[in-house]
Amino acid sequence: MSSTPDNTLLRSRELWAQAFPEDQPEFLDLYFSRCYTPERNLTLTGDDSDEIVAAGQILPFAFNFGGRRLPAGYVSGLVVAPESRGKGLGSRWMAEAHRRMHAEGQVLSLLIPGSDELRNWYTRPACGAYDTVSHRFTIPLLEEGEPPRAGMPDITEEHELSDELWRFYNTFGGRHPYEVRHDRNSLEVGVRSALIDGAQLFVARRRRKIVGFCLAMAEPYPAGFEAPEGEACTRIRFMLTTDPHIVFYFARRLTDLHGRKVFMTGGCPVRGFDGSVPYAMARVINVPAFLDHVLTVLPGLQMEFGVEGDEHIPANNGYYRLFGGR
């Protein structure tokens, strides 16, 4: 196993480009300049050489769990070289990543698999025994109805995360009980990567104060909705507002601008709704620390359970009893 010196960056980027050829060089420049650091990178070398054959990053995030911050590590960009696949390197990388997260004090591990095949892979005990913890649900917007009485806000298209927009997110974003809270760097990377993919950033203001923003782009119609032949839709991928009426006006602006039906995708409960699709996965990295956190949120919780089969962090295995806030 190799360490993560600066000279691994080019090889890590090369492996990423091989695995995800659809990613544009502009995105790779962004990711490997803003997200990648030697400390966050983790690599494996071949048995008989020093060549890096697997690489990925562990990105630190603050997860709002029950209204309190919980440190989490996000697994990003795990890639195994094509000629080295089928040798268990992926599961070895995950085991080492989990041990590193544990040592660094992260309590949860999060990831978003790119396919159903990968989702099944991550559920294996050897790969971390992850569970699906959130779903995404898509709904159509701007159905028949009267516009809100609050009146039309000023909606402008912008092309970067301005200081003003960051302050708006930092004040109102990431406040739901179970939601990742971005720092400025991760939010800016998210916005810029969406713009690279072809999304548009719209900001709504009333009396010169931001009341909402969204990222939207042209996409094929979502599953379950009949699409006119050859027609795309506009999908809002992210939205944050302080006024629920702004949703209507974003949808109207997008409809007027592109002449396409507008859909919005957002999160829904763990088990999802009919028509929702699985999204994020998670596993507990440090069971005692996680239970201590749960008791700060639910001090009256009483339960008994056992943990077994954690191949990556055996210290988690054992019998746990919650009673009297302890």
Residue with tokens 């620390």: 289
- Which of 8-22, 161-175, 213-227, 268-282 has the weakest average pLDDT? 268-282
> Hey, how many other C-beta atoms are within 10 angstroms of the C-beta on 96?
18
Instruction: Report the pLDDT value the prediction gives residue 303, as an integer from 0 to 100.
Output: 93
Between strands 135-140 and 154-158, the pairing is unpaired
325 pLDDT more than 90? no
The tokens of 326 are what? 């302890």
Q: Which residues contact 48 (CB under 8 A, 6 or more apart)?
A: none
Task: Please return the burial class of 36, using the count of CB atoms within 10 Å of its CB with bins 0-12, 13-18 and 19+.
Answer: buried
Q: Are 52 and 8 in contact (CB under 8 A)?
A: yes
Quickly state the pLDDT bin for 6 (edges 50, 70, 90).
low
* Residue 243: strand, helix, or coil: coil
Instruction: Report the pLDDT value the prediction gives residue 1, as an integer from 0 to 100.
Output: 43
Tell me whether domains 1-133+280-326 and 137-268 share a fold. Answer: yes
Instruction: Report the pLDDT value the prediction gives residue 176, as an integer from 0 to 100.
Output: 80
Instruction: Report the pLDDT value the prediction gives residue 15, as an integer from 0 to 100.
Output: 96
* Residue 130: strand, helix, or coil: coil
Mean pLDDT, range 60-80, rounded to an integer: 93
2 pLDDT more than 60? no
CA distance 77 to 148: 43
CA distance 192 to 196: 6
167 pLDDT more than 50? yes
Mean pLDDT, range 22-44, rounded to an integer: 94
10 pLDDT more than 80? yes
pLDDT tens digits along 111-129: 999 999 999 999 999 999 9
Between strands 108-111 and 281-284, the pairing is antiparallel
CA distance 278 to 113: 10
- pTM equals 0.91
Instruction: Report the pLDDT value the prediction gives residue 315, as an integer from 0 to 100.
Output: 96
Instruction: Report the pLDDT value the prediction gives residue 71, as an integer from 0 to 100.
Output: 96
286 pLDDT more than 50? yes
Q: Are 246 and 204 in contact (CB under 8 A)?
A: yes
Mean pLDDT, range 50-63, rounded to an integer: 94
Q: Between residues 224 and 193, which one has the greater pLDDT?
A: 193
CATH 3.40.630.30 applies to domain 137-268: yes
Residue type, 160: E
Of the candidates 47, 38, 53, the one whose C-alpha atom is nearest the C-alpha of residue 3 is 38
Question: Which CATH code is given to the segment(s) 1-133+280-326?
Answer: 3.40.630.30
9 pLDDT more than 60? yes
Ranges of each domain in the chain: 1-133+280-326, 137-268
CA distance 151 to 143: 18
Instruction: Report the pLDDT value the prediction gives residue 268, as an integer from 0 to 100.
Output: 77
Instruction: Report the pLDDT value the prediction gives residue 146, as an integer from 0 to 100.
Output: 63
Average pLDDT in the chain: 91
CA distance 299 to 301: 6
* Residue 205: strand, helix, or coil: strand
